[in-house]
Structure 1
């Protein structure tokens, strides 16, 4: 099951004469199945209550851990799928011109206030009174979205077919300790060419790009219930402490604290 992306539903959402349209929350699912690639005129906000949502656009994968949301601008082709037991809220938004909302896909941190507003928005009638209390709630949501901090939880996907192959190889064997030169030879490139192409296409060195991939894979596995020790071993780190050090440098917090801040919150469907 996934948030409905049938063409007739998307057309309907775009035609609803309101700045905010809600889709039913996806609750207590073992996984969120991958949706077909699609787009809509309205922007979409997917808020993860539980589990991890992954949003793929043409040049990147956005990871959305619990208590974060992904902002997908209108008209951007994308596909969405989940990791682990997923619970989310989906809002389709046609914001007014005043709020400084993102003009590109991004992951944002959801504050306690914004979280409660999004849950309240999920209960709004389809044709809510724009000039009444519901309309004021929508206006506050736009203000909070404009002020929400953006998190760097993106894995850039290069366009070159050889680099896409490298991405697949790294995902399939994240613990492989091959050198940059060895990875380059596996896709018929020199080390120099590989570094140059990565800099041009993803704006990162090989080392940083691979660490970003490890953060994405780690968040998926940790949110599914794996321990820090198990994830560290799966990703090829010599110890849990070396993995924690990498995660803290990339994200700003150790993994346990990062997830605890997001998981120690009430769920839509009640306590687990």
Structure 2
């Protein structure tokens, strides 16, 4: 019987030793328990291994050159190998992360995304994360790793992202909308200021982004409201501060994205965490 042992990490990878990373190529997956204080980690970085993470409580946002993903509790965030990204978390988080060897990461998405987390996968990784690092080459741990990969292949993509188009003019518009979601600048003004006709902008935007600018702006507003949600503000304040005309419209839009109400989401991410320790 193995001893329970929490392998400590500092918001991802900083506290692990070089020897620990060398183990990834041998054992293919290292799972680690996460607990952090309220923190905003905005330094861009990348690593040769892929990273999977899941939160029990709190939330995180990942921004990369391809877009922004939001990771609510009980969904998995996926970061591929060598993908430059930065992590934003304005709430206390608990959960786990798994570092995956790049040779096995190629069968999964090529850009950061959100995946479903099955009822089997979460306790399986929790058990992996409690395994003593020095004993991860044991047959029992390798069996857990094999089951982990089999289960991970069944995970489904979740629509909790906003892509950033690579076309220079469209990217400029996307970044503006992400940074200023409450600015009700018209489609005509967006097109004119970027040397496009309204019709051309709508067509190119839909082709590159996969949704209308109207829908993109609405999701950006919802993502903007998550800071207020985790800060414990009232739902009415959240709706008003992110630019919705009514609370009911905000709740409806929120449910379309997260499949739950803002209040239920708030209760989940703000569940009292008694040990806010930076691991």
Q: Deviations over 1:169-200 (max 9, x none)?
A: 32343222332112333444332232133123
CA drift at 1:220: 4.0
2:101 corresponds to which residue? 94
151-160 or 103-112: which moved more? 103-112
- The whole-number CA distance in structure 1 between the counterparts of 2:14 and 2:196 is 39
Report the 3-state secondary structure (helix = DSSP H, G, I; strand = E; otherwise coil) of the residue aligned with 2:96: strand
Residue 13 (structure 1) aligned with residue 25 (structure 2) = no
- How many residue pairs get aligned? The number is 266
Native 8 Å contact 1:22 1:91 kept in 2: yes
Native 8 Å contact 2:33 2:129 kept in 1: yes
1:55 corresponds to which residue? 62
2:221 corresponds to which residue? 214
2:247 corresponds to which residue? 240
Report the 3-state secondary structure (helix = DSSP H, G, I; strand = E; otherwise coil) of the residue aligned with 2:27: coil
CA drift at 1:69: 1.8
Please, which runs of 5 or more residues in structure 1 have no aligned partner?
none
- The whole-number CA distance in structure 2 between the counterparts of 1:35 and 1:155 is 20
TM (norm. structure 1) is 0.80
TM (norm. structure 2) is 0.79
Residue 198 (structure 1) aligned with residue 198 (structure 2) = no
Q: Highest relative contact order (Cα 8 Å, sep 6+), 1 or 2?
A: 2
Please, which runs of 5 or more residues in structure 2 have no aligned partner?
1-9
CA drift at 1:72: 1.8
Native 8 Å contact 2:77 2:113 kept in 1: yes
Native 8 Å contact 1:39 1:75 kept in 2: yes
Q: Deviations over 1:217-252 (max 9, x none)?
A: 233432332332111101211111011122223344
1:71 corresponds to which residue? 78
- The whole-number CA distance in structure 1 between the counterparts of 2:275 and 2:154 is 28
- The whole-number CA distance in structure 2 between the counterparts of 1:192 and 1:19 is 49
1:173 corresponds to which residue? 180
Native 8 Å contact 1:47 1:90 kept in 2: yes
CA RMSD of aligned residues (A): 3.3
1:224 corresponds to which residue? 231
CA drift at 1:131: 5.3
CA drift at 1:258: 4.6
Residue 255 (structure 1) aligned with residue 268 (structure 2) = no
Q: 1:131 to 1:22 in 2, by over 3 A?
A: closer
Native 8 Å contact 1:5 1:38 kept in 2: no
- The whole-number CA distance in structure 1 between the counterparts of 2:110 and 2:138 is 27
1:38 corresponds to which residue? 46
- 1:22 corresponds, among 28, 31, 48, to 31
- 2:126 corresponds, among 112, 116, 119, to 119
